[in-house]
A and B are shown apart, each in its own frame.
Chain A
């Protein structure tokens, strides 16, 4: 029997937006996609709404990324220009810089590690993550351990300015 979607919506919407945001890196787009996922759930009435939502959301984010990559490729054929300075308020730059660094660090994870980490952070259980990623449940802990370590290391390496020392950890 299908879940009460309204209930799932209340409990899961922010987590779904957060999950999507870390894939598309645009808050508006993430909200848009999350709402679209819920709208689709209303039509499909899946048995496990929460799990279903994250699968659909991941697929939508993947489509977005592909599209963006295609456009980027196309664009670089046309021209390549350096980023110019902009006039955002200071605190916004800081928050944005921070987010950019985390994003860059996340980019260095393998897709599977990243997916597991984002799903865990969105509130999914090991069982749900296993169902979604196809990993064995017993492998989730190891996957998350590796994902967390790589995230922190990549972030620290980014802070050191790329050329600096890598923060090697035991």
Chain B
């Protein structure tokens, strides 16, 4: 027989040659050294190609139970509900402390290059944040000693200079043992939450003097604070256990975020950032940006119309009904629905949200 062509060799190696043809090839290979050499070459090529493909495979994860097919998609937890456990008192102290910085008179018209509060903060802390980002454990240690001093230092100062901020926080603080009441009565709209990285260390930290009594009482520890406007406080109340923090979310590149979102991820310009994606398959990306060593802002984002299929759209709307009265701190930036969270006052978060733009 003539020499064996490479297509036949590949079919031979793949075990896909019909048995009659296979016998013919075997017979030829037995007496043709050049075809045997070619076979070895093709086998190496095949293995190499297979290894390359193996490098481009997703991490193996267990398939969800078959019974959940078609159901699970509508029952996934919304990423917008992800709020981490919070030491409530510490969050107040932080909100006061950082809010003080952010509530400078000209803070309303911030741009990163102006010498406003946030810009000042960004420049002061950028190096700090950059250094801290890759080393959460180290950061944790440092902050636990830093946090109380920040709180202690800034609280008295915050009172006279930021009456508006102080008022809203006071309302919340005075009712810390009645969380439900807080949610309904708070006169502000917004989200105040401690970022996941901050939460555990804040619990361990020595609380600020003014807040220590509250912090010791486990009853006032809340899982997340969603301060919504009066009529619609129902949103975040039921989120208790099983709240994943974004620290377990895989870190991804900006390119990966872009492909996930279908557009550029958004964030605050001029700040170091870390991008993660939701571990569930819901297309949510969070951009975490450190404003200072104790303050991380989380900018959750995802496509506002997830999918071309009606199912996903429905899924999304359903989530919206479940958790998000329209008055959360969220807005659309281009095609993305963006939500912001961080241990800052509503005012500050709102202003930060104003500045969110596609990341360079």
Contact = CB atoms under 8 A, between A and B. Distances in A.
B55 A98 contact: yes
B219 interface: no
A102 B52 CA distance: 6
Contacts of A102: 52-53, 55-56
A18 B10 contact: no
Contact of A87 (B274, B278, B359): B274
Contacts of A92: 251
Interface stretch (B91-99, B141-149, B230-238, B259-267): B259-267
B263 A145 contact: no
B16 A126 contact: yes
B281 A29 contact: yes
A144 B61 CA distance: 28
B241 interface: no
Contacts of A139: 7
A44 interface: no
Interface string A82-114: 111011110010011011001101100000000
B6 A145 contact: yes
B36 interface: no
A18 B254 contact: no
B19 interface: no
Contacts of A84: 254, 359-360
A13 to B, nearest CB: 4
B254 A83 contact: yes
B360 A75 contact: no
A96 B253 contact: yes
A90 to B, nearest CB: 10
Contacts of A131: none
B46 to A, nearest CB: 6
Contact of A142 (B6, B12, B57, B309): B6
Nearest to B38: A170
B217 interface: no
A71 B16 contact: no
B1 interface: no
Nearest to A150: B49
A45 interface: no
Given A26-B259, A28-B277, A79 B358 contact: yes
B41, B49, B263, B280: most-surrounded residue (chain A CB, <10 A): B49
A116 to B, nearest CB: 11
B95 to A, nearest CB: 27
Interface string A14-40: 100110011011111111100110110
Interface residues of A, number: 68
A3 interface: no
A87 B132 CA distance: 11
Contact of A144 (B5, B14, B66, B309): B14
A152 interface: yes
A71 B358 CA distance: 14
B70 A103 contact: no
Interface in A65-90: 67-68, 71, 75, 79, 81-84, 86-89
B34 to A, nearest CB: 12
A29 B308 CA distance: 13
A32 B281 contact: yes
B50 interface: yes
B52 A87 contact: no
B311 A9 contact: no
A121 interface: yes
A28 B278 contact: yes
A9 B69 contact: yes
Nearest to B16: A126
B58 interface: yes
Nearest to B68: A35
Looking at B12, B259, B260, B272, the one whose CB has the most chain A CB atoms below 10 A away is B259
- Among A30, A82, A121, A141, the one with the most B-chain Cβ atoms within 10 Å of its Cβ is A141
A114 B109 CA distance: 52
A67 B308 contact: yes
17 contacts: A5-B66, A9-B69, A21-B58, A28-B283, A32-B73, A32-B283, A75-B264, A87-B273, A103-B56, A117-B49, A121-B53, A126-B14, A141-B9, A142-B10, A144-B14, A145-B42, A148-B49
Interface of A: 5-6, 9-10, 13-14, 17-18, 21-22, 24-32, 35-36, 38-39, 42, 63, 67-68, 71, 75, 79, 81-84, 86-89, 92, 95-96, 98-99, 102-103, 105-106, 117-118, 120-121, 125-126, 139-145, 147-149, 151-152, 155, 169-170
Interface of B: 5-12, 14, 16-17, 41-42, 45-46, 48-50, 52-53, 55-61, 63-64, 66, 69-70, 72-73, 133-134, 251-256, 259-260, 262-264, 272-275, 277-283, 308-309, 311, 335, 358-360
Given A31-B281, A141-B11, 7 more contacts: A13-B63, A86-B254, A96-B253, A99-B56, A139-B7, A140-B11, A148-B46
